[in-house]
Amino acid sequence: MTERTPVPPPHPAQDVTEHVGYRLKRTAAALRGAMDRALREHGLTVPQYSCLELLDERPGLSNADLARGTFVTRQSANVVLRGLGDAGLITRPATADHGRALPAHLTPAGRERLHAARGAVYAVEARMITGVPADRLPALLADLDAMTEALGD
């Protein structure tokens, strides 16, 4: 039997719960749960809401663009878009004018649903950031961006 050399942690930590990655995952899970509950009242899932937000900002995005913007696979984005289309919240052409992309657009019903749900989502975020002093929020956002860049995404 060979002896294993202990791997030093990237920063001082007593156990896994003190690691940055663990804390980020815990926060993301809490945020997702709170958003799921808030959006359920509006008949939306988090990926559906995210698609509506992106389409409100940038009408005509393709399935691939929406997949990247909502952090899901193209296949999952297609399912989300199909559900939004079936609910009358978005429109997409039956065929592509050129290439394979089918640009999506909000319908008036989609815009209404988004605006109603946005208040619930913003209330969740407001609740979440109550734990961060207002003068530290810009630094937190910068730190999160720096961590993302350090991982190459």
Q: Residue 129: what are its φ and ψ, rounded to 5°?
A: -85, 0
CA dihedral for 54, 60, 63, 65, sign (positive or negative):
negative
Confidence (pLDDT) at 7: 79
Confidence (pLDDT) at 10: 80
DSSP per-residue codes, 72-130: --HHHHHHHHHHHHHTTSEE--SS-SSSS----EE-HHHHHHHHHHHHHHHHHHHHHHT
pLDDT tens series, the chain, 153 aa: 678 888 777 877 777 888 899 999 999 999 999 999 999 999 999 999 999 999 999 999 988 999 999 999 999 999 999 999 999 999 987 766 665 677 899 999 999 999 999 999 999 999 999 989 999 999 999 999 999 999 995
Q: Supply the pTM of this predicted model.
A: 0.84
CATH architecture of 35-150: Orthogonal Bundle (1.10)
**Angle ∠(89,116,112) on CA atoms, nearest 5:** 40
